[in-house]
Structure 1
Amino acid sequence: AQLQLVHECNAQLALFRAAVQNIGTTTDGAAVRREVETTGRACFKACEAARNSILPQLRDAQGAEDGNAQEWSRVASLLIGCVSMYLVEMRRCCALERTFPVPTEPCITNNQITAMESLLENMENLITVHFSTTEGSPENKVTPRRRRGTSCRPQCMCSKLKTSYA
């Protein structure tokens, strides 16, 4: 179900991106700006719904090393990618609206951008904590021994180099 929510975020992001691409073109006008606002709001809600579903599961999986915890980390990573792309598109939308102003309210507000930045930071922090707690202690890790070549000494190194390319 959570993966479906992330796919919904991606679908809404694609619609928002397509709508933003019309800003500043010959088709730009009130209808395009309404579409940008509508798709932006839908993407915002989809990202928040996915976050509200994934965050509790990720918090519960913290410190666990089973496959379920890894799956939650994967889903959260997918959401992080989607939210970061949404932030890029939101900023692009704001820049395009400043470049091509129309007498309507801005489609994306600074509050929306701040909320998405906060959501992204929260998710990234949880993933970082999850991986730092699931990693084994350094004492338990096996460090490979450094291998030394048995047949080669520094003195004979030059005999193995190719000296002529003719």
Structure 2
Amino acid sequence: MRPLKKKFFNLELRLSNVESLLYDAYYQYLDEIKLLKKQIKEISVYDINKNTPVDAVKAYLEAELRGDWQKAYRLLNVPPEVSYADFKRALDNARLINYKIGSFEIKDARMAFVKVSDTHRFKSGHTVTFENRYWRVVKVNGVWKVDWLAAQ
């Protein structure tokens, strides 16, 4: 075998061995990677106050049910351009009269979705019930908050 051909053969053999090692390592650690991702999701359920996304939604809905608009506003992840007055004005047309919270799903360490059914009575007197909408809940500075326009 000529020297150049032998070098190519050795390089191809080494490359094949490296590819095989990488392939083996990937599959060897794949289960561990999946387990770590699952553990991160489980740990992510709680915020720095030991609350879950469900706790955040419940606290918000309870504040809205009682008409405690300041607390409701604090429990929302409100964009900087939305003032407290804007927030209160947005809720002025309807009042929450009851709600039911269902399951939740953690998407990642900073986002979850909570299933909510809620009924509102409008100033006109009619009521509307929204069934099983998923509300987006986000972690802001380590605290779960209902995202602005969460059910949109």
> What TM-score results when the alignment is normalised by the length of structure 2?
0.31
Q: Which has the higher contact order (CA 8 A, sep 6+)?
A: 1
Is the strand fraction higher in 1 or 2?
2
TM-score (norm 1): 0.29
